[in-house]
Structure 1
Amino acid sequence: MSAHGPMPRSSWIFPALAVLLFLVVTATGYGFTLTAGGAMFAIALLVILFGTVFAAVHHSEVIAERIGEPYGTLVLTLAVTIIEVALITTIMLGEKPAPELARDTVFAVIMIVCNGLVGLCVFIGGLRYGEQGFQVSGANVYLSVLFALATIALIMPNYTTTTPGPVYSAMQLGFVDVVTLALYGVFLYTQTVAHKDYFVHERGEGEDAEAYLSGRMLTLSIVLLLVSLLAVVLLAKKFSLVVDAVGAKIGAPPAFAGLLVALLILLPEGVAAISAARRNNLQKSINLALGSSLATIGLTIPAVGVATYVLDKELKLGLSPQSSILLLLTFLLSMMTFGTGRTNVLFGLVHMVVFAVYVFMVFVP
């Protein structure tokens, strides 16, 4: 979907189908089982859910075009985070306990974004333009906050003594929630008020220009964005049943659910980031990619933490030694990639290799 031109039919058809599907399964009391009919329902659910997520991101992009950067990217990341929190919380609180799902999803988002998506954007941009520029100061802000939040959320739980790892005690989790929200809040202030010039790069040859958006189109996109987000939240429970059944059927590893959720929520935003890189707007790609990682940790961990505390559920956050090494490698590689303000094909390829290693290790640990 594009934020330019007439509104595509899919941007309102899929949200409408999602709401209709929810009303039908609620009225009939349908409970998912992995039969022939259940398989058809699962396929329909996934298609409608993916289409609705794409619709939500499309309307976020339309709004973003009107309000400009860096506020536009913030709308996109917040919309995706709402979807993410809904899916994680619903699956975690389902019939099958999944205390590690939030950890696996957050880690998957970091790996997908900082290696897969960043690598692909840099690689495509390098092939097309040789080198692409961006604001080093903005990238440094993203990375410094991301490294701190990821370490606190995913590494520190393995080394606390109040409770055995990989979990925080209730007091520790409450403290982590507060400092995480505070740090993310200061980052947003830096991005949107104090130093918003850090996150806007001068347009180069081949970059897209802003398009005019009427007030009617803006209002319609805001309404449809809210409907799309609501529809995804309403269908999250059925999606969790499908994930559990399919995972059990194919004997998937524990991290499979987290990877699947991360791919679902990041796919449309990833398409937007890759499209921006192809138009020689790598700064927007970086804003989308690294902004997603920050929003995932800065908003998802506190939201899930509060939900698990209120509902008295266990929340495992600490990564395994293998995953910790991959996270550290991603940190070091990102510092080198975003340290000069210019990128090339080789940087992108290295990131994609690390992502391939991560995916392989999920299925062959």
Structure 2
Amino acid sequence: MIAKIQWTVSVPILAIAALILTWGRDLPPPIVIIVGLFLAGSVLAAVHHAEVVAHKVGEPYGSLVLAVAVTIIEVALIVTLMISGGEKTQSLARDTVFAAVMITCNGILGLSLLVGAIRRRIAVFNPEGTGGALAAVATIATLSLVLPSFTTSRNGPEFSPAQLAFAAVASLGLYLLFVLVQTRRHRDYFLPITTAGQVINEEEHLEPPSARSAGISLGVLLLALIAVVGLAKGVSPSIEAGVADAGLPQSVVGVVIALLVLLPETIAAVRAAARDRMQTSLNLALGSAMASIGLTIPAIAIAMIWLSGPLLLGLGGTQIVLLALTMVVGTLTVVPGRANVLQGGIHLGLLAVFLFLAASP
């Protein structure tokens, strides 16, 4: 345990050092590989420290810690790439946010259901809390990513400044309302329950960390997030060049960013599902989807005050169909409060369709 803690502390520190040494420089392939290793190590360290903080504050607050942390990474990456990327990044926010929704609502959710169902035949969760979360995701996603394709104030899939401001305020307001319901008014809807239906108010086998340990983990978590953002910015030219050399659409860059920043959520959600904490897994998946839209869109709207060029938010026809299908299937999955390997496999199948169409539209 000591070695693990030392490793999760030392890697972010080394990653920050690597960030300082490589910032603003063109990196040759061997250095890109080294930076990528530090990036992956920082992501894993962030998962560990986020789980320590989450265990200290308890559910459902713990799920919010990692969801908000991941969204901070996403927003920082999008803004920094849009500042330096020019016209080719006008749709980066849309591509990344849509990819995050598809990965969380199909990938993380499906993988969690599959792991939970394989281990215990039936994955059990609270339909009231999960259904409310899915409804919020569907509403915010439609408002921010679908409506711009149908509004007429601007040519193309973009909002006018007034529409963008309204969408940003509405998305943030719905997200904050959900957080209030999740943490205060109906907190019991989001507490994990076992397969036998027993509500788990606290971890049964592990003592909560001390305030000092949780404080240290919070500090190292922030350090790891800074390292992830900075190093990802450093390797992003290599990612974009690789996508271009492979003849793939520019939207694949957004998919890669989403896959990268959601890796901590994926690991944490699968671990929770393996421990029969399915509700925690779904809190992480849907909470990340909601935070990705509800916090990213307002941040991008503010950044557009300084950024030049249009902000393309509206999805195309293919993406709208995938989003609608995801929400319909998700509704059928969460309403019963019980799922088996079939539901998990269906969601993972939808993720595979999304990834294939992203590479071959």
Do the structures match in fold with TM over 0.5?
Answer: yes
Paired with 1:163 and 1:196, the residues of 2 have a C-alpha distance of: 42
In structure 1, the partner of 2:102 is: 111
In structure 1, the partner of 2:122 is: 131
SS in 2 for 1:8: helix
In structure 1, the partner of 2:25 is: 30
In structure 1, the partner of 2:212 is: 216
Q: AA paired with 1:76?
A: L
Q: AA paired with 2:115?
A: I
SS in 2 for 1:93: helix
Give the alignment's Cα RMSD to 1 decimal: 1.9
Q: Deviations over 1:286-322 (max 9, x none)?
A: 0011110000000011111211232234211111101
Q: Deviations over 1:84-110 (max 9, x none)?
A: 111111112214431111111111111
SS in 1 for 2:262: helix
Is the 1:81–1:295 contact (alpha carbons within 8 Å) kept by the matching residues of 2?
yes
Paired with 1:235 and 1:267, the residues of 2 have a C-alpha distance of: 15
Moved more, 136-145 or 215-224: 215-224
Q: How many residues align?
A: 355
Q: AA paired with 2:26?
A: G
Q: Deviations over 1:163-190 (max 9, x none)?
A: 0231111111111111111111111111
Structure 2 spans left out of the alignment, 5+ residues: none
In structure 1, the partner of 2:80 is: 90
TM-score (norm 1): 0.92
Is the 1:94–1:240 contact (alpha carbons within 8 Å) kept by the matching residues of 2?
no
Q: Deviations over 1:224-263 (max 9, x none)?
A: 1121122233334313322222222222212210110011
Is the 2:106–2:351 contact (alpha carbons within 8 Å) kept by the matching residues of 1?
yes
In structure 2, the partner of 1:35 is: none
Moved more, 249-258 or 103-112: 249-258
Is the 1:86–1:236 contact (alpha carbons within 8 Å) kept by the matching residues of 2?
no
Residue from 193, 197, 202 that aligns with 2:188:
197
Moved more, 252-261 or 232-241: 232-241
Paired with 2:146 and 2:177, the residues of 1 have a C-alpha distance of: 22
Moved more, 227-236 or 205-214: 205-214
Q: AA paired with 1:177?
A: A
Is the 2:248–2:360 contact (alpha carbons within 8 Å) kept by the matching residues of 1?
no
- Structure 1 pair 211/314, CA: closer, same or farther in 2 (3 Å)? farther
Is the 1:96–1:244 contact (alpha carbons within 8 Å) kept by the matching residues of 2?
no
Q: Deviations over 1:250-289 (max 9, x none)?
A: 2221221011001101112101111111111111110011
1:21 aligns with 2:18: yes
Is the 1:80–1:266 contact (alpha carbons within 8 Å) kept by the matching residues of 2?
yes
Structure 1 spans left out of the alignment, 5+ residues: 33-37
Paired with 2:349 and 2:289, the residues of 1 have a C-alpha distance of: 19
- Structure 1 pair 89/239, CA: closer, same or farther in 2 (3 Å)? farther
TM-score (norm 2): 0.93
Correspondence 1:192-271 to 2 at 5 A = 192-204=183-195, 209=204, 210-271=206-267
- Structure 1 pair 241/96, CA: closer, same or farther in 2 (3 Å)? farther
- Structure 1 pair 51/189, CA: closer, same or farther in 2 (3 Å)? same
Among all aligned residue pairs of Structure 1 and Structure 2, give the percentage whose two residues are the same amino acid: 41
